[in-house]
Amino acid sequence: MVTTVSVREDVATAEPPRSAGRRRARRRTYLWSYVYLAPMMVLLLAFVVYPIVASLGYTFYKWDGIGDPTDFVGLDNFRQIVHDSIFWRSLGHTFVYAAFVVPTQLVLALALALVLNNKRLRFASFYRTLFFLPVVTSAAVIGVVIQLLVSNFGDSINDLLLKLHVIDQRVDWLGDPHFALAIIILVGIWHTFGYNLVYFLAGLQTIPDELYEAARLDGAGPLATFRYITIPMLRAVGVVIVILAVIGTFQIFDLVQVLTSGGPYFSTEVVNTYIYHLAFGGSNANAVQPDIGLASAASFIYGVLLIVFSVVQVLVLRSLAKRRATGGKA
């Protein structure tokens, strides 16, 4: 910090330098920024970039992770993945999960953020903590508790629902393909919606009170204020929240692995558990040979699909923003 100030003083007191000198000074100015960034970059290269590049090499081998890969199979792993109906089914489940979790979470989080943002609300901090608690709770712990609730003590839930005539026979909530994914979606919404709540709260707190006062003076009701002030002012942060929420849901793994391990019969398998089961053997205690090559190919294909999806998402959001900026004439 001190160094930065002194450099600035140097720059400020020096005669206007020539362009090479200015570049040198600027480089010196930003040198510390690069130094601060370096550790993160090293970690990023070691634990993100390198594995991606290395796993690309493995996609061309039949390899169980033991010894060095020697059985070169060319593009056969990609062919197998593309022709594997379970991969596409897993991808479908991942999209279904995202399609339910993202909109539900965003609507709930925004509604709750509006309530918690009310300055007259007492114990607002307590409620914020309460709603954020699931986020800091490990998915493994949540999975175990939910499993206990719906499987071990599922009789009580079933008995209650039978008495209320909601169901006409006992249901194995996590063992029935009609319900298992729905349970995971519900738990997923509850588990991570605290993030979006905090993001929306932060966004709401950046909106100047004067705008609301002016709207009230102009006779706008709560709905009109929400539509014409809150929504437009939240738009920028909203786009970021949507992108983060979508990316987050596509990374779903832990909840599925703990609750159902992708079963029964792949009815809750998502792409990340599919890749995990390929890489580390079966989802059960059987000795199934792991296939790192196949798992790497699946990861690569999923990565490409996600990049394409993200680009399309950004283009669509940009186009919508452009259309709004031009009043829908573009």
What residues line the site for other proteins (CB under 8 A)?
64-67, 86, 147, 150-152, 154-155, 158, 169-177, 180, 260-261, 263-267, 280-291
Q: To the nearest whole angstrom, how small is the minimum distance from the Cβ of residue 139 to other proteins?
A: 17
Contact of 115 with 130, CB cutoff 8 Å: no
Q: Which is nearer to other proteins, 10 or 172 (CB)?
A: 172
**Which of 284, 330, 328, 275 has its CA nearest to residue 306?**
275
Distances from the Cα of 148 to the Cαs of 157, 176, 281, in angstroms?
Answer: 11, 16, 26
67 versus 327: smaller Cβ distance to other proteins: 67
Q: How far is the CB of 46 from other proteins (least distance, A)?
A: 17
Answer whether 277's CB lies under 8 Å from 283's CB: yes
Shortest Å distance, C-beta 187 to other proteins? 14
Which of 139, 204 has the CB closer to other proteins?
139
Give the ranges where the chain is alpha helix by DSSP (H): 2-13, 19-44, 50-58, 76-82, 85-116, 124-136, 139-147, 154-163, 180-205, 209-217, 222-225, 231-250, 254-259, 271-279, 292-325
* Type of residue found at 306: L
Shortest distance, position 56 Cβ to other proteins, whole Å: 20
Whose structure tokens read 């114990």?
A: 123
CB of 151 to other proteins, least distance (A): 5
222-244 CB burial, b ≥16 within 10 A, e <16: eeebeeebbeebbeeebbebbee
**Minimal distance, residue 165 CB to other proteins, in Å:** 17
In the complex, the smallest distance separating the C-beta of residue 134 from other proteins, rounded to whole angstroms, is 22
Look-up: residue for tokens 């493995």?
Answer: 58
> Which residue do the tokens 């998402």 mark?
313
Which C-beta is closer to other proteins: that of 248 or that of 281?
Answer: 281
Nearer to other proteins, 232 or 282 (CB): 282
Residue closer to other proteins by CB (options 241, 255) is: 255
Query: In the complex with other proteins, which residue's Cβ is closer, 157 or 246?
Result: 157
Contact 87, 271 (CB under 8 A): yes
The least distance separating other proteins from the CB of residue 64, rounded to whole angstroms, comes to: 6
Please state, in angstroms and as integers, the Cα–Cα distance from residue 153 to each residue in 17, 156, 169, 184, 261, following that order.
Answer: 76, 6, 16, 17, 20
- Gap between the Cα atoms of 264 and 242, Å rounded: 31
CA angle 19, 23, 26 (to 5 degrees): 135
Q: Which is nearer to other proteins, 171 or 201 (CB)?
A: 171
